[in-house]
Amino acid sequence: MTQVLDAQLLTDHAAPGRACGSCTACCSALAIIELNKPARRACDHLCRTGCGIYEARPASCREFHCLWLRGAIDGDQALRPDALGVMFDYFRMASTGETHLIAHELWPGAFDSESAQSLLDELVQRGDVQLSYRDGRWSTLGQDPM
Ligand code: SF4
Ligand code: SF4
C-alpha cells in the first residue's frame, strides 16, 4: 500500500536510496519565479546532460524535492517522475494548515497509465489530489473539491 506521510512531506532532503539521476521532470513541470519560467515548459537551461547552470541554479531549483525524492511515496525507481510520467508535490493551506497533494502530468495521457492510476487510487484514500494536466487543465480527484 502506498503511503504518504506528513513527516516526509516536510523533509527537505532526498530519502536514503533515492536520487534524481537523469530525471529533469521538475525543470519542465514547475514555474521558476527567478527565471520567469512558466509551468509546463522546459527550462531554457536544460541541456543533454541536465541543468546547464547547475552550480548557479536559483534557490527554487536547489530547494525543490518532489515527493518521490523525499520518500513520501513508497515505490521503486519505476515511480520516479521521469518513468511514471507524473510528478507529485504538495501545498499547505494557510487557513487550515491542511496539506493537499498535486500531481503534475509530464506528458499527455500519463495520468491514464495503469501505474499512475493505481498510485492515484491509493493516494486519494488519504485526501484529495489536485491534477495538473499537461495541456493546462486542472481537476480535483477525491471527495473534497476545492
Ligand atoms: S522531479 Fe523529483 S526526481 Fe525528478 S529531478 Fe525533480 S526532484 Fe529530482
Ligand atoms: S535552472 Fe537548471 S535546475 Fe532550474 S529549472 Fe532550469 S534546468 Fe532545471
For residues 90 and 71, what is the distance between their CA atoms, to the nearest angstrom? 13
Ranges of each domain in the chain: 6-14+22-141
Residue 40 in this model has a pLDDT that exceeds 90: yes
Q: Is the dihedral of CA 107, 134, 12, 126 positive or negative?
A: negative
The protein residue with its alpha carbon nearest to ligand 2, atom 8, reads 27
C-alpha distances out from residue 21 to 3, 17, 117, 128, Å: 23, 11, 24, 29
Q: At 75, is the pLDDT very low, low, confident or very high (cuts 50, 70, 90)?
A: confident
- Point out the least confidently predicted range of 25-34, 69-78, 108-117: 69-78
Q: Please tell me if the CB atom of residue 20 comes closer than 6 angstroms to any atom of ligand 1.
A: yes
Specify the pTM.
0.91
Q: Please tell me if the CB atom of residue 20 comes closer than 6 angstroms to any atom of ligand 2.
A: no
